Amino acid sequence: MISVMVSGCFSNDGPEVEPEEPGPPEGWFVTGPDGLPIEGIPLPLEFTFSDVGEDGAEPSIGITSSGCIFFIAFEKVMRSCDHGESWEDVADYASQPSTSDPYGWVDPITDRVFNVQMVTLLTTWIAWSDDDGGSWLGNPHDSGPVPLNDHIKLASGPWTDEGYGIPGQISPVYDTAVYFCYNKIAGIFCYTSFDGGATFEVGGQIYGLATTNGGLHGAISTSPDGTVYVPPRVETPTIIFSKDNGVTWSERTMGLDTGTPYPRKNSEVGTDSESNAYHIWTGADQGVYMSRSTDSGNTWEENSIRVSPVEIISSVFPHIDAGDPGRIAITYLGSENASELNQTDIDGNPWNGNAHYAHGNVSYYLYVTFSLNALDDEPVFHTVRISPDPVQIGAICLNSGDCRDIGGSNRNLLDFNDLHIDRDGRVYIAFADGCTGDCASNWNATPEDSRSRRGSMYYLSSGPSLYESVGDLAEFN
């Protein structure tokens, strides 16, 4: 419920004061497919914050059916089984190597938890647990002699009738297909595991070259019908997808009307319970855009939909998950204040909204956007500025080799955040907070004050589930 206080002086001698138009409270937005405001009551969204207790840039998050949350970043595997009240590191350091470039995944079908660690530029250690992190097994995956084994990603999804499980092909021995992708100089390489991630013997290069950014990629996504998506980092928004568990791959482009900025960054695909797909990315004007596919990736809309409000003039790290058809949640870091501050970029030129070149006290906050009718011709988007203080002040460096700040210190947030839902359709967001302590409490904080990378999480404590049958979610008891 929104209440608006009306003040003024009413008398027979003066004009009647018109009441203010009701609207969303500060930091809330109700918008249409062009990012412009529309009439509508904001969804009742309440979020709860949790400090993971460790540094956590490039975090991955997943939730098992028991309710345990896994937040994986750097060498840590942080677990909370009490809704973020407390966290413990459950990584098995005695048996597995670790580095500062991991990726985590929770299989939504089997509950297997994966901890993927880049050991060297040639080898990755893939560990898994079937008891909520109580014990771990693992094996190395050798990427071969060609340099680099970076940008590692892992996901799982259903087997298909056209995939490796058909007669004459290799028969799977695990309930789901597990996919592992990474980049090399030559491009993107993806492999399929038939034994739950213990080995990856089938696969190879699906896209390239890394030297043109095509070898870098976002998170792997899968749909209930078994389609698997990998988004390459290229100038025109693009999706690579497979309908046969990685035997063959196809390519589709979209977003010609919006493009992407430079430097480009990861995009992501979310899929719903009916295998509709939603591809989101940062457009050339720094807004968050979406294209939809209702035939499992075969065709995509020509006209892009703006997800973020027009008030958000810069955005990075968009991530998405979906429940039932049309019910989606998207998170990103965004800035509203650059135009009012008359900002310049790091080179002293007028700032174009690109987070990479932000200068001065540009403030980035954490946002979440919900839609319960994202497949409609005129979808409605409900956006909330979740974080009460900035997540980052100043530039967010997006390319490790092109950080403009002194010493690359604005590279503190690295490459991505994460968003996933649990079995009840409750949204969980993992992010690294770059502005903590005195930076968060000082409204005159500078970019030099914003260099932390604290592992942090928000989850939807009350509000609509992304599964329609669940209805409205209540706070945990």
List, in sequence order, the alpha helices (H) in 342-467: 438-441
pLDDT at 14: 46
pLDDT at 4: 26
- Within a 10 A sphere around the Cβ of 32, how many other Cβ atoms? 16
292 closest CA partner among 375, 359, 366: 375
- Residue 363 near residue 328, CB atoms below 8 Å: no
pLDDT at 464: 98
Cα 172 from Cα 165, distance rounded (Å): 6
- Residue 76 near residue 70, CB atoms below 8 Å: no
Stretches where the chain sits below pLDDT 50 are 1-14, 17, 19
Mean pLDDT of all residues belonging to the chain: 89
Cα 10 from Cα 321, distance rounded (Å): 50
User: 287: helix, coil or strand?
Assistant: coil
Cα 160 from Cα 184, distance rounded (Å): 28
Contacts of 355-358 with CB under 8 Å at 24 or more apart are 355/286, 355/314, 355/315, 355/316, 355/395, 355/396, 355/398, 356/263, 356/395, 356/396, 356/397, 356/398, 356/399, 356/402, 356/404, 357/395, 357/404, 358/314, 358/394, 358/395, 358/396
Please name the residues in contact with 180: beta carbons below 8 A apart, sequence gap of 6 or more: 116, 124, 126, 141, 152, 153, 154, 190, 191, 193, 197, 200, 203
Cα 170 from Cα 186, distance rounded (Å): 27
pLDDT at 147: 57
pLDDT at 98: 72
pLDDT at 148: 64
In this structure, which topology does domain 42-473 adopt according to CATH?
Methylamine Dehydrogenase; Chain H (2.130.10)
pLDDT at 5: 28
pLDDT at 26: 86
Cα 62 from Cα 155, distance rounded (Å): 11
pLDDT at 146: 59
Domain extents in the chain: 42-473
